[in-house]
Amino acid sequence: MNWTRFVLTVLVTGFVASLTDWFFMGDLLYKRFNKHPEIWRHNGGTRGESHAIAWSAPLPFLTCAVFAVVCQSLHLQSFSSSFALGLGIWLIAILPWMITMALFVKLQPAIAASYSLGWLVKLSVAALGVDLILR
Protein backbone atom coordinates (compact mmCIF):
# COMPACT_ATOMS: atom_id res chain seq x y z
CA MET A 1 0.00 0.00 0.00
CA ASN A 2 1.27 3.46 -0.87
CA TRP A 3 1.21 5.22 2.52
CA THR A 4 1.24 8.72 1.06
CA ARG A 5 -1.86 7.95 -0.96
CA PHE A 6 -3.43 6.24 2.04
CA VAL A 7 -2.91 9.29 4.27
CA LEU A 8 -4.21 11.59 1.52
CA THR A 9 -7.26 9.35 1.07
CA VAL A 10 -8.00 9.40 4.80
CA LEU A 11 -7.54 13.18 5.07
CA VAL A 12 -9.69 14.03 2.05
CA THR A 13 -12.47 11.51 2.67
CA GLY A 14 -12.44 12.16 6.41
CA PHE A 15 -12.84 15.89 5.82
CA VAL A 16 -15.68 15.40 3.32
CA ALA A 17 -17.32 12.85 5.62
CA SER A 18 -17.15 15.40 8.45
CA LEU A 19 -19.02 17.84 6.24
CA THR A 20 -21.68 15.23 5.51
CA ASP A 21 -22.05 14.67 9.26
CA TRP A 22 -22.58 18.38 9.72
CA PHE A 23 -25.02 18.54 6.80
CA PHE A 24 -27.13 15.49 7.66
CA MET A 25 -27.02 15.95 11.42
CA GLY A 26 -26.86 19.73 11.66
CA ASP A 27 -28.72 22.32 13.66
CA LEU A 28 -31.42 22.94 11.07
CA LEU A 29 -32.64 19.37 11.40
CA TYR A 30 -32.74 19.50 15.18
CA LYS A 31 -34.50 22.86 15.32
CA ARG A 32 -37.18 21.57 13.00
CA PHE A 33 -37.68 18.04 14.31
CA ASN A 34 -36.46 18.18 17.92
CA LYS A 35 -39.75 17.33 19.66
CA HIS A 36 -37.99 15.58 22.55
CA PRO A 37 -34.99 17.72 23.58
CA GLU A 38 -34.60 15.71 26.80
CA ILE A 39 -33.06 12.81 24.86
CA TRP A 40 -29.89 14.79 24.13
CA ARG A 41 -27.09 14.59 26.64
CA HIS A 42 -26.11 18.27 26.33
CA ASN A 43 -28.01 21.44 25.57
CA GLY A 44 -26.74 23.36 22.56
CA GLY A 45 -23.68 25.51 23.22
CA THR A 46 -22.73 23.99 26.56
CA ARG A 47 -19.26 23.00 27.63
CA GLY A 48 -20.24 19.33 27.56
CA GLU A 49 -21.37 19.62 23.97
CA SER A 50 -18.01 21.11 22.98
CA HIS A 51 -16.22 18.15 24.55
CA ALA A 52 -18.54 15.72 22.77
CA ILE A 53 -17.85 17.43 19.45
CA ALA A 54 -14.10 17.33 20.09
CA TRP A 55 -14.20 13.62 20.90
CA SER A 56 -16.41 12.76 17.93
CA ALA A 57 -14.60 14.90 15.33
CA PRO A 58 -11.87 12.29 14.59
CA LEU A 59 -14.38 9.47 14.07
CA PRO A 60 -15.11 10.15 10.35
CA PHE A 61 -11.34 9.93 9.73
CA LEU A 62 -11.23 6.61 11.59
CA THR A 63 -14.20 5.32 9.58
CA CYS A 64 -12.54 6.29 6.29
CA ALA A 65 -9.17 4.86 7.33
CA VAL A 66 -10.59 1.48 8.33
CA PHE A 67 -12.76 1.40 5.20
CA ALA A 68 -9.68 2.03 3.03
CA VAL A 69 -7.71 -0.72 4.80
CA VAL A 70 -10.57 -3.20 4.39
CA CYS A 71 -10.92 -2.33 0.69
CA GLN A 72 -7.19 -2.87 0.20
CA SER A 73 -7.10 -6.12 2.16
CA LEU A 74 -10.08 -7.48 0.19
CA HIS A 75 -8.43 -6.38 -3.09
CA LEU A 76 -11.48 -4.41 -4.19
CA GLN A 77 -10.43 -2.93 -7.51
CA SER A 78 -13.33 -0.71 -8.58
CA PHE A 79 -15.71 1.90 -7.26
CA SER A 80 -18.62 -0.49 -7.69
CA SER A 81 -16.99 -3.14 -5.50
CA SER A 82 -15.97 -0.57 -2.87
CA PHE A 83 -19.44 0.95 -2.95
CA ALA A 84 -20.97 -2.53 -2.61
CA LEU A 85 -18.91 -3.01 0.55
CA GLY A 86 -20.13 0.34 1.90
CA LEU A 87 -23.73 -0.47 1.02
CA GLY A 88 -23.36 -3.86 2.69
CA ILE A 89 -22.01 -2.25 5.86
CA TRP A 90 -24.90 0.20 5.79
CA LEU A 91 -27.53 -2.53 5.30
CA ILE A 92 -26.00 -4.88 7.88
CA ALA A 93 -25.24 -2.40 10.64
CA ILE A 94 -26.29 1.22 10.25
CA LEU A 95 -29.83 0.89 8.90
CA PRO A 96 -31.02 -1.78 11.38
CA TRP A 97 -29.37 0.08 14.26
CA MET A 98 -30.99 3.38 13.30
CA ILE A 99 -34.42 1.83 12.83
CA THR A 100 -34.13 0.14 16.22
CA MET A 101 -33.06 3.42 17.83
CA ALA A 102 -36.04 5.21 16.28
CA LEU A 103 -38.39 2.52 17.60
CA PHE A 104 -37.10 2.46 21.18
CA VAL A 105 -35.73 5.98 21.79
CA LYS A 106 -37.59 9.26 21.44
CA LEU A 107 -35.92 9.92 18.12
CA GLN A 108 -38.00 11.57 15.42
CA PRO A 109 -38.23 9.54 12.19
CA ALA A 110 -36.78 12.45 10.21
CA ILE A 111 -33.68 12.53 12.43
CA ALA A 112 -33.24 8.74 12.19
CA ALA A 113 -33.64 8.88 8.41
CA SER A 114 -31.13 11.73 8.18
CA TYR A 115 -28.59 9.87 10.33
CA SER A 116 -29.02 6.78 8.15
CA LEU A 117 -28.62 8.69 4.90
CA GLY A 118 -25.64 10.54 6.33
CA TRP A 119 -23.92 7.21 6.99
CA LEU A 120 -24.69 5.98 3.49
CA VAL A 121 -23.17 9.14 2.02
CA LYS A 122 -20.15 8.87 4.35
CA LEU A 123 -19.48 5.30 3.21
CA SER A 124 -20.00 6.32 -0.43
CA VAL A 125 -17.49 9.15 -0.01
CA ALA A 126 -15.01 6.67 1.48
CA ALA A 127 -15.56 4.29 -1.47
CA LEU A 128 -15.10 7.11 -3.97
CA GLY A 129 -11.92 8.27 -2.21
CA VAL A 130 -10.48 4.76 -2.22
CA ASP A 131 -11.21 4.48 -5.93
CA LEU A 132 -9.94 7.92 -6.97
CA ILE A 133 -7.01 8.51 -4.62
CA LEU A 134 -5.78 5.25 -3.12
CA ARG A 135 -5.60 3.21 -6.33
What pLDDT is attached to residue 42? 64
Higher pLDDT among residues 67 and 20, named by residue: 67
> Which residue type occupies 56?
S
How many beta carbons lie within 10 A of that of residue 72, not counting itself? Answer: 16
Q: Could you tell me which residues come within 8 angstroms of residue 87 by beta carbon, excluding any fewer than 6 positions away? A: 120, 123
| Residue whose C-alpha is closest to residue 17's, from 45, 75, 52, 56 | 56
116-135 burial, b at 16+ Cβ within 10 Å, e below that, comes to bbbbbbbbbbbbbbbbebbe
Report whether 14 contacts 116 (CB < 8 A): no
Distance from first CA to last CA of the chain, Å, rounded? 9
Per residue in 94-129, pLDDT tens?
999 999 999 998 888 888 888 899 999 999 999 999
Per residue in 29-67, pLDDT tens?
766 667 776 666 666 666 777 788 888 899 999 999 999
d(CA 107, CA 1) in angstroms, rounded, equals: 41
What pLDDT is attached to residue 110? 84
Show me where the domains of the chain are located. Answer: 3-134
Residue 9 burial (10 A CB sphere; 0-12, 13-18, 19+): buried
